[in-house]
Amino acid sequence: MSDPARDDERDLVERAKRDPRQFGALYDRHFQQIYRFVYSRVREQTAAEDVTSEIFMKALKAMPRYQDTGRPFAAWLYQIAVNAIADRYRTLRPSSPLEDFHDLSIAGPPLEEEAAHRDEIRRIWVLVEALPAQQKTALVLKFQEDMKIEDIALAMGKTAGAVKLLIHRGVSRLRDEAGTLRPAE
Amino acid sequence: MSMRHDPELDDILQDGELKHVAELLRAGRMSEDPPLDDAFRSALRRQLMNRAWGMGGTTTVPWWRKAFGPAGLAWAGAAVGVVLIAAAVVFTALTSPSTGGLTKDVLVSSPMNDQSAVRLQQPILVNFNQPMDHPSTEGAVQITPATTVAFSWSANTLSVQPTSGNLAPNTQYQVTIGPGAKTASGEKLAAPKTITFVTSPPAPSPSPTPTPIPSPTPRTQFADQHQILSVTAGASNFQWSPDSSFLFFVSAGGGLVSVPAAGGTVTTLVQDGVTSAAISPAGDAIAYIRSGKIEILNLVAGTTVEISPTPAPTRVGWTKDGVVWTAADGVYAQGTDGPIKLTALPTTGAINVISFSPDGAHLAYTQDQSLYMFDIASGKGVTLGIAGAQLLGWSPDGTGVMYSTATGVVVSDVGGKTAATLPAGEPTWSSQDEILLGSDTDIWEVRPDGTGLTKLAEGTYHLPAWAPNGVAFIFIRGGMVFGASAPAPAQRPSALDTAAAVVNSFMQARKSSDGVKASAYLNDHGRKAYSSSGGGLNLVLTGDPSFSRYYLLTQSITGSQPDTAQFVVRIVLSHDKLDVSTYEETLTLVRTQGSQQFLIDHATAGPLLTLGKGAEVVSVEVSPGTVKITFDSDLKPESVAAGVIILDSKGKQVGGNPVYANRTVTITGLDLKPHATYKLVVLSTVQDVGGTNIAAEYDLTFAGPADAHGGSNQRGEQSPSPSPRASPSARPSSSPPTS
């Protein structure tokens, strides 16, 4: 079945492949998403700008070679993003705390319980940062970016099976390290 | 807390604790937008577009910081800045706070209200039906788009004068007198009153003065007029050799005769009996009909080949592939094994074939007083004119035809579509697209579209016939054949003006929802662009918001032979009289010789943009050294310097710093090359005086203008305002409306 949004994207991609000057439309469509992802990884505005800039420059340059594999165009951008972030942190380590940015206001439970839950969430994301890079990337793309396994596989240059394994190992490790996490109610 | 179920994780995380961790991860998704500097976003876009343009060069990462520095806060501040006099303001109607007693309702009117082509050089006039308190009334005036104004009063009329001088072109103004306005006696307006009007296009800038062409004084003979030979009445079928050096004709006695165009020895090629003759496109052979047979005389070898078709031939002609002829039942060509019937002719009633078109693709015949144009390939004919019409000639390329009516000479294409009606006369159509009209008393020159009618000389000029070179012609006077050269034709209206007239007619028809009429300005390609199975553009726009107006943003000649022009047309959609959105169509027009008409050959549409969110570009004017970009709003001058840029095809910025005055940004110091491609970029950092940034970056691709000093290789290309070829770039937006 044809998906109009997907057809629309395919059309934009085809046009940008033929004429790089059409890349602006793809940039407009994906900038926010990619910048947000990058920011969530580097958590510093200047660094996020540097990396985002690098990602789109690389994407523009590689546009003529882009192959539509049936996956969303964004998955390809995430692939470039994952590599760009990895490149950057071969030499740099993130230093900012991330508490502020994984801070959800969750309506419902009593104040004390809610505070405890928020604390749990903060802790789990702090632990994510300590995971091996590949597990961390897989978890971020799955839980933060809400991507499909197939798309994560494309972005990370891995098979879907390998991605599932990374997610399983990452989540298991978080469980082990969190130790005192409460079971789901 | 219930979390969204993700079936993909079911087989990965089966353990309850793992599922709980997953829920926590999902619950911790970053919920707030990260800090983002809009200046970075638009600067990166510009950098990408520059790179895309040249697809070269390298960039070190923090380039935008160099360019934009600590700009982020400045934009943020401006966005929430105080809007002074300009903003789209929605009022809620107030009930009159009448404190008792009889108050006379305040009536507000303007002679400009609802007008659609308000000239630019005038103040906005607002009439009140009673004396007003000046300070409160002036304070209550709101204008969209953002405009700095000065006020003056004359009795009960308020003049609102833009301080930049004129009103902006192609712009819908909304002038609202808010409820803060008080009468002289202190009564407030019961409800706000809005005056709405649309301004006219900008006046064309002074064009390079065309070299005046002296109007030819009618004379009695041409400078090089010379006698070629004397002929007896009844000579016919005058034809030129393709190199314009010889004439051939059929004498009154049926002889086939040739004579040098300069005059000289007359050679009789065939003694008698010739009834139809035609010279081959290469000029090396003449085919004629004699004694029921076709003879082909090779002019080089002097040999003759005979074809004896059955039924007998009636008219002979040529295509590029060889000789063709008509017989009582059809049209034939000579194949390797003898005649081949190309198509049948109508069998109902007697038909009289008059001639083949020069390209052999059509033929004209009469039947029952009516003149028909017959397409040999399709075997179909159309009627030309009304009964009694007579064929008068063809265009040299065979796509146009001339025939007589009671009132004059009709020029049409071979499909029967009339291009023009010329004064009565004996016409001949040249390879340079000029028509001579001879008669007993004078000779005129006119273009096939009916323009440029000029009397060349007085006297008798019968049966003029252009030489293929488009300069020499012959005519008959008093039993003599004369030769002469026609003077250079008068300057024709520029191709751009002609094309612009077609675009205007096309857009008017669409605005009137007359799809049939609009289609008449499209050729087959153009029709495809406006078909749902082709380009998908909407010829007729329906629904709400509706098509309220259009204007030509840019226009340019982009090619010759055939003439090609490109236009960017802004289509403005409105709801309840107010402009709400706009999109641009880029139209490419091509001119064909037969119809002499520009037709739309290609069309594309840009994205739909919402109006009322910051300044809009309403006019772009390009000359080799200067580009002027006019906005509908007054701008903050300091936002212009880094916000309006021209890039060459390599993405390199060209021209000096933009100078801003009176709503117009002027970039000088340019050396734009004809037909080279440039790009105008207006960044979203440009702000109107109210502090509103333009809604989205605006890009316009255009070609360098034709050289005004003669670099143009095309007759009549001078444009009153040389303007760019343009194609709007993709911008974030929804699609144009569908009907």
Contact B17 A139 (CB under 8 A): no
Cβ distance A163 to A151 under 8 Å? no
| Contact check, Cβ <8 Å, A167/B59 | no
Subunit contact B21:A175, Cβ cutoff 8 A: yes
Taken as a whole, chain A contains a residue count of 185
* Chain B residues touching residue A57 (CB < 8 angstroms): 47-48, 51, 59
Instruction: Please state, in angstroms and rounded to a whole number, the distance separating the CA atoms of residues A134 and A155.
Output: 11
**Residue range B334-338: average pLDDT?**
85
State whether A156 and A83 are in the same domain.
Answer: no
Instruction: Quick: pLDDT tens for B549-584.
Output: 999 988 888 777 778 888 889 999 988 888 888 899
Does residue A102 belong to any structural domain of this protein? no
Calpha distance B75→B81 (Å, rounded):
10
Do A71 and A42 touch, CB atoms closer than 8 A? no
Q: How far is CA B620 from CA B118, B292, B665, in A?
A: 20, 67, 10
Which of B303, B294, B259, B258 has its CA nearest to residue B273? Answer: B294
Which of residues A60, A95, A130 is at a domain's end? A95
Residue in chain A nearest B28 by alpha carbon: A102
- pLDDT bin (cut points 50, 70, 90) of residue B660 is very high
Identify whether residues A89 and A123 lie together within a single domain: no
Q: Which of B48, B53, B699 sits opposite A56 (nearest CB)?
A: B48
Query: Greater confidence, B313 or B726?
Result: B313
Q: Is A168:B17 a contact under the CB 8 Å cutoff?
A: no
Q: How far is CA B179 from CA B136, B187, B193, B253, in A?
A: 9, 10, 8, 95
Across the range B20-39, mean pLDDT stands at: 80
Given strand B627-631, what is the order of strands in its sheet? B617-622, B627-631, B664-667, B659-661
Domain range annotation of chain B: 37-80+614-694, 108-198
Full domain range(s) for residue A170: 108-185
Calpha distance A40→A54 (Å, rounded) = 16
* CA A66 from centroid of its chain's CA atoms: 20
**CB-closest option in B28, B44, B47 to A124:** B28
Of B40, B53, B699, the CB nearest to A49: B40
Among A121-130, A157-166, A173-182, B3-12, top mean pLDDT goes to A157-166
pLDDT band of residue B32 (cuts 50, 70, 90) is low
Residue with the larger pLDDT of the pair B178 and A100 = B178
Contact with chain A for residue B70, Cβ under 8 A: no
**B686-725 residues touching A, CB cutoff 8 A:** 699
The domain defined by B37-80+614-694 folds into Immunoglobulin-like (2.60.40)
Q: What gap in Å lies between CA B342 and CA B332, rounded to an integer? A: 5
Q: State the average pLDDT over residues B6-19.
A: 85
Residue range A154-173: mean pLDDT, rounded: 91
Whether A118 maps to a domain, the answer reads yes
Same domain membership, residue A79 and residue A141: no
Q: How far apart are CA B611 and CA B579, in angstroms?
A: 7
Angle at B595 between CA B592 and CA B600, to 5 degrees: 55
Do A104 and B31 make contact, defined as CB atoms within 8 angstroms? yes
What's this model's pTM, rounded to 2 decimal places?
0.46
The yes/no answer on whether domain B108-198 falls in CATH 2.60.40.3710 is: yes
Question: pLDDT: is A20 or B279 the higher one?
Answer: B279
- Partners of residue B34 in chain A, C-beta under 8 Å: 35-36, 39-40, 45, 48, 101
- Cβ <8 Å between A45 and B37: yes
Whether residues A12 and A85 share a domain: the answer is yes
B38/A contact by beta carbon, under 8 A: no
Q: Got the DSSP string for B75-134?
A: HHHHHTSPP-SBS--PPPPPPP---SS--PPP-EE-TTTT-SSB-SSSPEEEEESS-B-H
Same fold, B37-80+614-694 and B108-198: yes
The last residue of a domain, from among A46, A62, A95: A95
Angle formed at CA A20 by CA A16 and CA A22, multiple of 5 degrees: 55
- Asked whether residue A101 is assigned to any structural domain, the reply reads no
Which domain-ending residue is among A44, A62, A95? A95
Q: pLDDT over 70 for what percent of chain B?
A: 84
Interface test with A, best of B13, B24, B66, B700 (most A CBs within 10 A): B24
Ramachandran sector of residue A179 (left: φ over 0; alpha: ψ -120 to 50; beta: rest): left
| Alpha carbon distance B84, B77 (integer Å) | 15
Q: Tokens 């994780």 label which residue? A: B9
Please state at what angle helix A73-91 crosses helix A45-62, rounded to 10 degrees: 130
Instruction: Say if residue B215's pLDDT is above 70.
Output: no
| B159-183 per-position pLDDT tens digit | 999 888 889 999 999 898 988 898 9
Question: Which tokens go with B607?
Answer: 């994205």
pLDDT at A113 over 70: no
Closest of B280, B218, B217, B275 to residue B251, by C-alpha:
B275
pLDDT at A39 over 50: yes
Contact (Cβ atoms closer than 8 angstroms) between residue B519 and residue B529: no
> What pLDDT band is residue B679 in, cutting at 50, 70 and 90?
confident
Same domain, A22 and A64: yes
* Shared domain check, A113 and A68: no
Tokens representing B704?
């360098």
Mean pLDDT value of segment A115-125: 78
Q: Are residues A55 and A113 in the same domain?
A: no
Q: What percent of chain A has pLDDT over 70?
A: 79
Residues of A in contact with B19 (CB under 8 A): 184
**Cα(B602)–Cα(B567) distance, rounded to whole angstroms?**
11
* Average pLDDT over every residue of B646-673: 87
CB contact under 8 A, A120 and B24: yes
If you average pLDDT over residues B104-133, what whole number do you get? 87
> Which one of A171, A174, A185 would you mutate to disrupt binding with B, by most B Cβ within 10 Å of its Cβ?
A171
End-to-end CA separation in angstroms for chain A: 39
Six-digit token string for B200: 């006219």
- Quote helix, strand, coil % in chain B, to nearest 5: 10, 40, 50
CA–CA min distance A78, chain B (Å): 17
Contact B30 A102 (CB under 8 A): yes
Nearest to A183 among B17, B27, B699 (CB): B17
Beta-carbon contacts of residue B400 (< 8 Å; ≥ 6 apart): B394, B411, B412, B413, B414, B419, B429, B448, B593, B594, B595, B596
Round to whole Å and give the CA distance between A169 and B256: 101
Look up the ipTM and state it.
0.81
State whether B13 and A167 contact (CB < 8 Å): yes
What is the torsional sign of CA B22, B25, B28, B33? negative
pLDDT at B4: 65
**The predicted structure's pLDDT at residue B509:** 92
CA nearest A61 in B: which residue? B55
Do A23 and A67 lie in one domain? The reply is: yes
Q: Please tell me the distance in Å from A66's CA to the nearest CA on chain B.
A: 15
Same domain, A149 and A88: no
List the single residue in A22, A23, A172 with the smallest CB-CB distance to B18.
A172
d(CA A131, CA B678): 50
Look at A124 and B12 and tell me if their CB atoms are within 8 Å.
no
* B310 pLDDT more than 90: no
Q: What's the pLDDT band for B365 if we cut at 50, 70, 90?
A: very high
Q: Phi then psi for B28, rounded to 5 degrees?
A: -90, 10
pLDDT at B410: 92
Confidence of residue B132 (pLDDT cuts 50, 70, 90): very high
Tally of domains within chain A: 2
Q: Between A and B, how many CB-CB pairs are < 8 A?
A: 159
- Name the least confident of B297-311, B447-461, B637-651, B724-738: B724-738
